[in-house]
A and B are shown apart, each in its own frame.
Chain A
Amino acid sequence: MEEIKDTFLHPAVPLDFQNNYRVGAYMQRYLDGFKEKKILGAKCSQCGRVVVPPRKYCGDCNLVMEEFVELPQEGTLENFTVGHVVLEKGQLNRAEAPYVIGMVKLDGASNALLARLQVAPADARTGMKVKAVWQDQVEGEYSDLDCFEPA
């Protein structure tokens, strides 16, 4: 009997379709707020929690969060990490320079917002006050809120 040797065929198997996601009214309102350099959150009428970016449903109360509230531009750096790598399409590469990603709790918010921090890695401190930095031109896009910097 002929022995079947182990060889592998490597056809290209791309996963390259695009999903036309609907972001929904809440994320749309959040991005519309960016056009006026406003940060909006959603408030639950039952538990009073304010989440940013706004979400439609409160997990704890199983209710629709019906109220939008504008949050201040300042908050506290609750947690951060200094990145030494970038991860793109599953590939890990060294970053050109270390950079800071933080979790910012805006004053009055119940949760923390993930953001890029414009601060030298050695100067980042948990608990430091930070404020929002906007792009000069705001167009209602994710990138309008550029980063946070020490207040």
Chain B
Amino acid sequence: MDKKVAIAGFRMAAAPDLETTRERLVFDLSKGLLDDLGIDRDAVDNFVLCSNDFMDGRTISHVFLGPPAGGYMKDQTKVEMDGLNAMIYATMGIISGQYDVTMVLAMSLTGSQASPYLYTDYSLDPTYDRQLKLLNELSAAALEAKSYLAANGYSEELLDVVASQNLGNAAANPGQARRIDGVSREKVKASPYYYEPLRELHCYPPTDGGCAMILVSERKAKELTDKPVWVLGMGRSTDTYFLGDRDLSTSLSAAQAAERAYAMAGIKDPRGEVALAEIMSLFAHQEPLLAESMGLLEKGKAAAAYESGETAVSGKMPLNPSGGPLGGHPLCASGLIRAAEAARQLRGEGGDNQVKKDGVALVHGQDGVCAQQSAVVILGT
């Protein structure tokens, strides 16, 4: 990248029910972050908001969010996808030279005020899938899980291993929404099936939440932070909608998005150069599936990698040290939270889940059924 862009700061919130309003959540995140950095809204020249019209029950959902975000009479736009896309657009605005300081703010109240499953239900093909009523977010994910396990010869137990590792990390992360102490593989396996092979604890919990992040140019980074985390690479890709056209045992969108981000960041050996990854895996099988697709785990060897501890916080390739979306998945904010969690790690603020390795962090975000769209960002210090 010709121009360098850094994360100067971030704030996150997540809970099953934040007992708040949309406006207050936005105000608390934005104002809190401005206070953290010791600046006021005058210092911010661009606002990229991220919310969902349908889940918010109003078109142009950000019309009321500008003032509480601090964006009154500023350049203010909205991304209606996962928040990692909002971060990419914000970065582009700074690279263009037009802006120096940009607030990215993604949020939804899909824990307390609207079911998150509706988001996918109403994204389905109205002339076919919604008529047949067979496909939904959970049945689609189950078909993907089954295909992935079968293609690689993995047993269903892999899902229990992945989920217990993620829920264990989430329990040690005060910012997560679902924090259950001592989630053993047995406890995961004892949770009821939704659609086989997926059980309740293999799936993300409905979550309220949001994330605010301030991105800055290199010049402003020196003023605003002692611990800049740099955006080194970005990539995106979108697959076909139709599940019956896809090979569900892998993710072409994640593979291609990662390839583009690696090329931009100059990464030739992901397994050697990536120190940790925050992956938007909404269901247990998606973490190894996406990690394999992005070249972070060897194809077909994910089960062994989890068993040997390779993917744990202390392992060679820590995956979702934050606990990932199995610990909390506020729609729209989920991918941006992954980026903030990765930045927290790179700043050495990971607390009990701190990864003690040098290298870059990979962040993955997704949108659509079974990661139809993937976004990847590479961060480094």
Contact = CB atoms under 8 A, between A and B. Distances in A.
B is bound to A: yes
A21 to B, nearest CB: 5
A15 to B, nearest CB: 6
Nearest to B141: A81
Contact of A15 (B57, B137, B150): B57
Contacts of B244: 103, 105, 111-114
A92 B128 contact: no
A132 interface: no
A126 to B, nearest CB: 6
A105 B248 CA distance: 14
B359 interface: no
Interface string A1-27: 000001010000101000101011001
B243 interface: yes
Interface string A131-149: 0000000000010000000
Contacts, number: 97
Contacts of A103: 143, 243-244
Contacts of B243: 103, 112, 114
B54 A15 contact: yes
Contact of B114 (A21, A23, A51, A90): A90
Nearest to A109: B244
A89 B118 CA distance: 7
Interface in B12-38: 19, 21
Given A8-B21, A19-B126, A81-B143, A142 B240 contact: no
A90 B136 CA distance: 10
Contacts of A51: 242, 245
Contacts of A21: 126-127
A111 B115 contact: no
B156 interface: no
Interface string B95-129: 00000000000000000001111100100001111
B128 A27 contact: yes
Nearest to A105: B244
Contacts of B193: 82, 84-85
Interface string A109-122: 01111111000010
Report the contact-size class of chain B (Cβ under 8 Å from the partner). 35 or more
A128 to B, nearest CB: 14
A53 interface: yes
A113 to B, nearest CB: 6
Nearest to A10: B113
A68 interface: no
Interface residues of A, number: 39
Contacts of B118: 89-90
B57 A13 contact: yes
Given A79-B248, A115-B134, A87 B196 contact: no
A85 B196 contact: no
A33 B327 CA distance: 47
A24 B127 CA distance: 9
A79 B146 contact: yes
B196 A84 contact: yes
B142 A81 contact: yes
B135 interface: yes
A16 B244 CA distance: 30
Contacts of A101: 134, 139, 143, 195
Contacts of B264: none
Nearest to A60: B240
B57 A82 contact: no
B57 A87 contact: no
Contacts of B354: none
A84 B143 contact: no
16 contacts: A13-B57, A21-B127, A51-B242, A79-B146, A79-B147, A80-B146, A82-B196, A84-B194, A84-B195, A92-B138, A101-B139, A103-B244, A111-B242, A112-B245, A121-B196, A126-B150
Given A80-B143, A90-B117, 8 more contacts: A23-B127, A83-B194, A87-B117, A87-B139, A90-B116, A101-B143, A110-B245, A142-B131
